[in-house]
Structure 1
Amino acid sequence: MSFLTRPEDLTPATSAPRKGKISLVGAGPGAADLMTLRAIRCLGAADVVCYDRLVDLEVLAFARPGARLIATGKEVGAHSWPQERIDAFITAEALAGHHVVRLKSGDPSVFGRAGEEIEAARAQGIALEIIPGITAASAAAAALCEPLTERGVTDRLVLATATCRPGELPTDIAEIARPGTALVFYMAMAQLERLSAELIRCGTAPDQPVTIARNVEKAGPETLRTTVATMARDAVAAAVTNPALLMIRLAKDKAPQARAKCATVRASI
C-alpha cells in the first residue's frame, strides 16, 4: 500500500447512489513538493479538478488519471469564469455525484474567495471540506530565509489585500501600520503609489525597507529590495507585476513618533 493511500480508500464501492462532494484545496505557492499529503490524496481521488490561473501546472500531475481538468482562472478585465459561474459549475458537478476539487493557489481561506463557494455548497446541502495550503507570505519568508515575525521587533502579523472589489474602500492603513507589525500586502503592484503615500502619512519613515517578492516557489522568482518612498518607481523600473507580495516590517522601537504623527494627520482630515 502506498504511503499516499489510506485504508478507507481501498474499501469496495457499494451499489448505493454515489454522493458528490466539494473539496477546496490549497495548492500552495507553486512548487508541487510543498503541497500537503492530504491535498495530494484528495487530487488523486477527484473526478473533476477546477484549478485557478495561478496554480502551477506541475501540481496537476497528482490528479487521478481520467479526472477532468477545468481551467477556471480569472484575470482583471477578463472574467470568462466569473465567481457565479464557478459556484454553479462545482455545485452542479457535486450534485451529479462527482467529487469536485476546487484547486486554489496558496491557501483557500487567504484571499481565495472560499466564502462564496462554501455558501454555494451549503445552500445545496453538498458535503464540503477545506484542505489548507501554504500561503504566499509564508512561502516568501521561507524562500528569503527571513522570519515573518521576530521577538522584540514584530509581534503582530497582518495579511492584507491591496486590491478590493470595485466600489469598496481600501484597507485603512492607519489601523494596521502600527509599530511591532509585520505587514504583507497581496496583489499590491497596482497600488504602490497609494500605499507609499498613506504609509508615509501615518508616520512610516520614507527610507523604511520594503521587500517585493514575485513568483515565490515558481519558475523565475523575483525579489526587489526597495523603500516605502521609492517602491512604486523601483517596481516600474524592474517591471515587477502581480502576482507579487509587498512585505514591510515596522519595528517596535519606532512606536512613539509613528503613532503620534499618524494621529495628528488623521485628526486633520
Structure 2
Amino acid sequence: MMGFVYIVGAGPGDPELITLRGLKALEKADVILYDALIDERIFELVDCKNKELVYAGKRKGDGNGGKRQKEINEMMKKYALEGKTVARLKGGDPGIFGRLADEIAFLKVNRIPFEIIPGVSSLNGVPASAGIPLTAKGISSLTVLSGREDFGIEAILEGTFVVMMGRDSIQSVARRMIEIGISPDKPAVAIENGTLKTQRVVKGKLKNIGEKMNDFKGPVLFIVGDVADRLP
C-alpha cells in the first residue's frame, strides 16, 4: 500500500507559528523529514514517541545542493513505498524559495500522493514581528528577490507576479503589465475563493485571463508568470 506525503510549511522560526493544519499533519506522520532551519522545539508540540525524525537539511556551503535534494526525494519515496505517512517539514512556506517545484515533480512522476500545507513565510512573518507593514496606502506593489542570484529589470519582468483584489480590474491591470514589458503570452491563473471548498482555478495567458473568469464573484487572486504553467 502506497504511503502519503505532506509537504508542510513550519513558519519563519517561532515553533508556534506553524498552522493548525500543519500540526495535524505532524500528528499523522510516521516519519518527519525536517529542514535545517526548523526549530526542534516544534517537536514538543506533538507526540513524537513513535515517530522517526530524520534530518534532511541543506546549508549554503555544504556542497552540491542538487545532489542533496535528490537524496531527500529518494527518502520521501522510500518511506512512501513502505506505506508510511511522511511529513516533509520545511521552513517558512514551501512554495517560496523552498524547492517545492522539484519535490512536486518527483512525487508526481513516482505517483506518490501528497498534499501541500502552506506556512507563514519569513516574507511576511518576520516584518510583522518587527512591526513593519509591507504595504501601505499608496504602496501597491511588493517585489521579492533571492539574494543568491543576480538580477536586473529583465529578471524581475520574467519573475512571478501576484495580483490581489483585482477581480474587477484585471483586464486593465493586464494591459498595463503588457505595456511595461511583460509578454502578453505569459501564463496566468485566476483563483477564486482560495483555500476554501468553493475554490475554483482557471488558466490562461496574461492577455486573456480576464475573459476566462466567467461568473467569478468571490475574492480572486491572480498569478502571472511561468510558474502558472505548472498546474496539473
2:146 pairs with 161, 174, 193, which one? 161
Q: Which secondary structure does the structure 1 equivalent of 2:132 belong to?
A: coil
Tell me what 1:25 maps to: 8
> What's 1:73 paired with?
57
How many residues align structurally?
154
Q: Does 1:57 align with 2:40?
A: yes
Pairwise CA RMSD: 1.9
* SS state at 2:23 partner: helix
Task: Give, in whole Å, the separation in 2 of the partners of 1:135 and 1:158.
Answer: 14
**Offset at 1:62?**
3.3
Structure 2 residue aligned with 1:144: 130
Question: Residue type of the partner of 1:69?
Answer: L
Using the alignment, how far apart are the partners of 1:62 and 1:50 within structure 2?
16
Give the whole-Å Cα distance in 2 for the aligned partners of 1:119 and 1:62: 30
Deviations 1:105-131 (A, max 9, x none): 100000000111111111111101100
Give the structure-2-normalised TM-score: 0.62
Shift of the alpha carbon at 1:19? 3.0
| Contact 1:26 1:39 (8 Å CA) reproduced | yes
How far off is 1:141 after superposition? 1.6
Q: Which fold has the larger relative contact order, with Cα–Cα distance below 8 Å and residues 6 or more apart in sequence?
A: 2
> Does structure 2 conserve the Cα–Cα contact (< 8 Å) formed by 1:44 and 1:62?
no
Report whether the alignment pairs 1:111 with 2:91: no
Q: Which residue of 1 aligns with 2:115?
A: 129
**Structure 2 CA distance for partners of 1:47 and 1:172, relative to 1, 3 Å:** same
Identity %: 35
Structure 1, gaps ≥5 residues long: 1-17, 165-169, 178-269
Q: What is the SS of the residue equivalent to 2:115?
A: strand
Query: In the alignment, residue 159 of structure 1 is paired with which amino acid?
Result: V
Aligned counterpart, 1:213? none
CA distance in structure 1 between the aligned counterparts of 2:17 and 2:145, rounded to whole angstroms: 23
Relative to 1, partners in 2 of residues 1:57 and 1:173: Cα closer, same or farther, differing over 3 Å? farther
Provide the C-alpha distance between the structure 2 equivalents of 1:171 and 1:160, rounded to a whole number of angstroms.
Answer: 8
CA offset digits 1:41-94 (Å, max 9, x no partner)? 100110110111011111122344211101111112214871011011111111
* TM-score (structure 1 length as normaliser): 0.54
Letter in 2 for 1:172: G
> What SS does the corresponding residue of 2:145 show, helix, strand or coil?
strand
> Structure 1 residue 176: deviation in Å?
4.6
Contact 1:25 1:133 (8 Å CA) reproduced: yes
Inter-partner Cα distance in structure 1 for 2:79 and 2:87: 10
Q: Secondary structure of the residue that 1:157 maps to in structure 2?
A: coil
Contact residue 43 and residue 62 of structure 1 kept, 8 A: no
Quick one: structure 1 residues 98 and 57, their matched pair in 2 at CA, closer, same or farther if it must change by over 3 Å?
Answer: same
- Computing the radius of gyration from Cα coordinates, the structure with the larger value is 1
Q: Which residue of 1 aligns with 2:227?
A: none
SS in 2 for 1:24: strand
Task: State the distance in 2 between where 1:129 and 1:145 align.
Answer: 32
